[in-house]
Structure 1
């Protein structure tokens, strides 16, 4: 067990997916975690899975840190109550919007800068399509971004404690202002959710025989459309000003595309379509690559595997024996055969030899 930076105890207010995952991660470091949730059943499940002990059994409590893992629309209220109830504790929230929470908190605490100095807004950029404590994982935040958004009055001690929380959960720490954070997540998180949901909504009344043709492209685009609607109503509403600016740009692009497709053989139409796709290529190429490094182009190949236990593990073991590192992996299934299609991403310099070696070992590689 690696030593923790936090001394504890840590009080987590909210035992859903993120709150329970924080509890599990800190408990794995030996930190004393106390849990509280408005839902007795959610709290009981979180306690049962080992995310912490119940608050009612831990009083009186003098926590080093209070983590508010509440929905965005009540985060400021819960933060303000925690600041008053635990006068020596640092209080952080993990809501996915930061400016609105801070603005409401300022209204709630008035001119009491002493209270505000113990607060730091944070946002762990991690999650799952599933919700609730049963979906919690102590490793949920490993190598994921965790954004610190201190206000201008947050104390150095409060920022240090918030930083320690992220480090103890093996996250990668970034520091943004609340405004910078909301602008960034509107583009990299909230817009993808909206676009995914809009595409998936087109499928609601699609005939089943048409959906039988779906492949990884549709699955990739619509994966996050399975997210919790009630949570996203709050997130999108709280960050509406930043999101609207981006959506207006998307609307202009859609209007442009609709106009072009209305006359696809008109002079310049094909060029405009090519330019639109090229603009997408340029944007995609700017997404950070492996481990957050510079974007890098990889080569893809597809290997057919029998749809039975152990085949993917065997394939990856043999690739390791060959001495090639798999940079990314996707799995699909044939619509008509009992075979899986494993799409592998490798360095371009490794592709030719890997194809040859796998073929010699009896694997069917689709060039």
Structure 2
């Protein structure tokens, strides 16, 4: 199959590597000539260009740009494609994207691979990034069954765990397990950084180890991505932050009252609940 990929960063580059390994012909689009040359040398793509006209023969196109560029990219892209071409994206927010694109392109399927890395750019691309990871598809009532089948078949070749839900359900869920952690983690780092006692601040830097590393990782990630999460998933993220603040206020209240029994009950409950979300 001829597959187009727009945006040759971590996600787009990793898709290219895996699809090429499956024997597909991969066409890559990037704004930078240096990225194109690197993608070719890394065997991420079969051909690449800065010009979207390269995709005129593509049967499926994956839009792997940052969130804010997905809709504008689609608006430029459709001038080069036959109406039979299937388009999907990898954005971490789905409602505004699906609402904008579905009325324009009947063969559009919203998608979100739940995989990533601390690193970014074409240099971070690697094979098997998506293996055994959740990959969410968010078709709506107007999405064609044939388009869903095409995307389903392709991502199935990556060894992903496919899930289906509405764009709205997706955005509420990821606000809890993806976007909220970024904001909470950023607050953790900010709290440490704003310690006014210079000696304590210096000691905290020296003492920070695995616990701080684990809980601060996503807060120390790409600032642009964090802003895009908040901008495009604003309503759901605000609801999640408000729920988090309520839970935090409850802990503050228990500690102020020295209610260690109730605090232990909460911590025991969260200890048991963690396994429902992550498997060690």
Match runs of 1:348-363 below 5 Å? none
Question: How far 1:48 sits from its partner (Å)?
Answer: 2.2
Match runs of 1:230-245 below 5 Å? 230-245=224-239
Counterpart of 1:90?
A: 86
User: For 2:13, which of 7, 20, 26 is the aligned residue?
Assistant: 20
- Distance in 1, matches of 2:55 and 2:118, equals 36
**1:250-305 superposed Cα distances (whole Å, 9 cap, x missing partner):** 111222222333342xxxx223322331332242132253xxxxxxxxxxxxxxxx
Counterpart of 1:191?
A: 180
The answer to whether the Cα contact below 8 Å between 2:52 and 2:77 also exists between their aligned partners in 1 is: no
Scaled by the length of structure 1, what TM-score is found? 0.69
RMSD across aligned C-alpha pairs, in angstroms? 2.1
The answer to whether the Cα contact below 8 Å between 1:37 and 1:43 also exists between their aligned partners in 2 is: yes
List alignment gaps of at least 5 residues for structure 2. 195-199
Are 1:158 and 2:154 an aligned pair? no
In terms of fraction of residues, the more helix-rich structure is 2
User: For 2:73, which of 69, 78, 92 is the aligned residue?
Assistant: 78
Provide the secondary structure at the position in 1 that maps to 2:192: coil
Question: How far 1:106 sits from its partner (Å)?
Answer: 5.1
User: For 1:62, which of 37, 57, 60 is the aligned residue?
Assistant: 57
User: For 2:268, which of 275, 278, 301 is the aligned residue?
Assistant: 278
Question: How far 1:97 sits from its partner (Å)?
Answer: 0.6
Between 1:93-102 and 1:71-80, the stretch displaced more is 71-80
Question: How far 1:65 sits from its partner (Å)?
Answer: 0.3
Greater relative contact order, per chain length (Cα 8 Å cut-off, separation 6+): 2
- Distance in 2, matches of 1:282 and 1:36, equals 46
- Distance in 2, matches of 1:135 and 1:213, equals 30
- Distance in 1, matches of 2:247 and 2:116, equals 30
User: For 2:277, which of 280, 287, 294 is the aligned residue?
Assistant: 287
Match runs of 1:1-367 below 5 Å? 7=1, 9-52=2-45, 53-55=47-49, 59=54, 61-87=56-82, 88-105=84-101, 109=104, 115=105, 117-204=106-193, 207-264=201-258, 269-289=259-279
**1:98-117 superposed Cα distances (whole Å, 9 cap, x missing partner):** 0011123357x3xxxxx2x2
Change (3 A) 1:42 1:232: farther
Change (3 A) 1:233 1:285: same
Question: How far 1:60 sits from its partner (Å)?
Answer: 7.4
List alignment gaps of at least 5 residues for structure 1. 1-6, 110-114, 290-327, 329-367
- Distance in 1, matches of 2:79 and 2:98, equals 16
The answer to whether the Cα contact below 8 Å between 1:25 and 1:169 also exists between their aligned partners in 2 is: yes
Question: How far 1:86 sits from its partner (Å)?
Answer: 0.7
The answer to whether the Cα contact below 8 Å between 1:14 and 1:70 also exists between their aligned partners in 2 is: yes
- Distance in 1, matches of 2:102 and 2:278, equals 35
The answer to whether the Cα contact below 8 Å between 2:156 and 2:162 also exists between their aligned partners in 1 is: yes
Change (3 A) 1:120 1:16: same
- Distance in 2, matches of 1:183 and 1:233, equals 17
- In the comparison of the two structures, how many residue pairs are matched? 272
Counterpart of 1:316?
A: none
Question: How far 1:244 sits from its partner (Å)?
Answer: 1.4
Higher Rg of the two aligned structures: 1
- Distance in 1, matches of 2:55 and 2:98, equals 28
Question: How far 1:225 sits from its partner (Å)?
Answer: 2.4
**1:229-253 superposed Cα distances (whole Å, 9 cap, x missing partner):** 1112112211111111121111112
Question: How far 1:160 sits from its partner (Å)?
Answer: 0.9
